[in-house]
Amino acid sequence: MGDNDQNTADGLVVDQLLTTARAWLAAEPDADIRDELGAVIIAAERGDAAELRARFGGRLQFGTAGLRAAVAAGSMRMNRLVVRQAAAGLGQWLLEREADGTVPDAARRGVVIAYDARRKSDLFAEDTACVLAAMGIRSMLHPGVQPTPVLAWSITGLGAAAGVVVTASHNPPADNGYKVYLDTGSQIVSPVDTEISACIGGFDPLTVDVAAADDPLIERLDTSWVDRYVEFTPSVRLRPDVAGVPVAYTAMHGVGGAVLLRAFEAAGFEPPFVVAAQQEPDGTFPTVAFPNPEEPGAMDLLLETARSCGAFVALANDPDADRLGAAIPQADGSWRRLTGDEIGWLFADHILANTSGADRLVVTTLVSSSLLARMAAEAGVHSEETFTGFKWIGKIATERPDLRLVLGYEQALGYLVAQRPLDKDGITAAVLMAEIASVAAADGVTLQDRLDAIADRFGRYVTAELSVKMPPADGAAWVASIEADPPTEVGGRAVTAVTSYPEANLVRLMLEGGVRLQIRPSGTEPKVKLYAEAVDLERSTVDELLRALATP
């Protein structure tokens, strides 16, 4: 194709995208998004179509994490038209599952909906309810902003057919998202995500029917379900006889702060010392660039508070409060942020020592530490390993009704220490971590002492992660190439075994000396993630092996 032909083809594409964008402009209900889209259209008309292509070059894909993108105009962004289309797709899927008997009585049981404090979360939740009502499906809206665990916990209590929470969790401030839950209180897993996605694709986002806000099928819940969740939280305590110790806490500008304070009181603990500047919900996240407890610097204000109040442990929820970060004091007076696996080991050590029964089950993910399985084996407890993502832990729990899940965790700060919901819960996890710190203090030891004792029993497990940014297609190709032609050595250590997990897009390499390396493309970001685990090796050595794998 010559340059003129290519220019003509590009011009036709831009003309088509402009036609689409103008139609979106006419349908867009929000003035701020209309203004923004109008500027994108004007720029394209003047010859700069890059942003137009980015906004309308496809459809935001609905996966096992639901939807997640920046709030802006266009079919590739989060906005009310995209959310209405997603809600219609979910509604269609529920009606089809009701018809085939998979989700009985789905329309009457309905969908329970909650939202966080991010930009337009309330509007996205309201639109979801109105779209479902227009389809003849009951919807139940939680009052005000709520933590994700409250939504997930209430699904089974209400007997709902599904749940929706509008949140982008710990993503950057510009983003918002849309997560869907099954009637078990667990997140959707494949193939449900592809089924819902196919239903979404059958709707024109510009013409989705929307019921009135006062439609009788829309039920506006009061705070009683939040109250019931708070009343439930003390049940996670295993040593209620032990008095609490000073705890520092941050809600990280998210929606978990108020509920966590109530949960601590219900569990018999004194209120934690909160980071005041981060306690109230604020979707702009003014004090953190990236509101994720895993990110360097995100917990700095928390550690300042912890030092000043003499805390025994510092706890952080992510913005929707389904994750828990933690830091602990060291002998020299400094504070150290714990890895997700270290937090998991502390939970396992405490739970396995304070529960009993041959029916106990612990579950973790492929990329989390293998130490949990060893701890479980020593305690005579069933253990399972599943795919990356907490939704799979919930699925294991539903598939093993003969066993009692006492702990599920993933290294990305996700923990389930209660019988419900079947999803990670940073609030009940915080309550139990406060108890673990209290029991350690009562025993005259620190949480670092607890971790050292675990290392003395099982060896000092060292875990590390590395992310390599690249386009999703390149990342998938890289992982596929390692799977097809695995290396014979990494960093001078021979590869002794190679295992592929196609369902997780993950390849595991075992090296001499028991070193485990894993690689997979991220499911939500343009990056490839690498994971390492070794026993009784220096962290610097483990990091070198990761870098060696990351250098094709």
**Which is catalytic among the residues 75, 121, 139, 169?**
169
In Å, what is the CA distance from 442 to each residue of 101, 242, 434? 53, 7, 12
Whether 360 contacts 403, CB under 8 Å: yes
By the 10 Å C-beta count (0-12 exposed, 13-18 middle, 19+ buried), 280 is classed as: middle
Whether 82 contacts 133, CB under 8 Å: no
DSSP calls for 375-431: HHHHHT-EEEEE-SSHHHHHHHHHH-TTSEEEEEEETTTEEE-SSS-SS--HHHHHH
Cα 9 vs. chain centroid, distance in angstroms? 41
How is residue 101 written in tokens? 């008997």
Q: Three-class SS of residue 318?
A: coil
Residue with tokens 């305690």, as numbered in its chain? 379
Name the nearest CA neighbour of 178 among 261, 264, 90: 90
Residue 518 parent element (H or E): strand 515-521
- CA-CA-CA-CA torsion for 380, 385, 389, 395, nearest 10 degrees? -70
Whether 205 contacts 85, CB under 8 Å: yes
Name the nearest CA neighbour of 390 among 346, 422, 360: 422
Amino acid in the structure at residue 73: A
Whether 153 contacts 146, CB under 8 Å: no
For residue 169, indicate whether it is catalytic: yes
Q: Three-class SS of residue 264?
A: helix
Whether 341 contacts 347, CB under 8 Å: no
Distance CA 112, CA 130 (A): 12
Whether 396 contacts 225, CB under 8 Å: no
Whether 461 contacts 533, CB under 8 Å: yes
Helices (H), 177-314: 192-201, 224-232, 257-266, 300-309
Name the nearest CA neighbour of 128 among 181, 172, 170: 181
Show which residues are catalytic.
Answer: 169
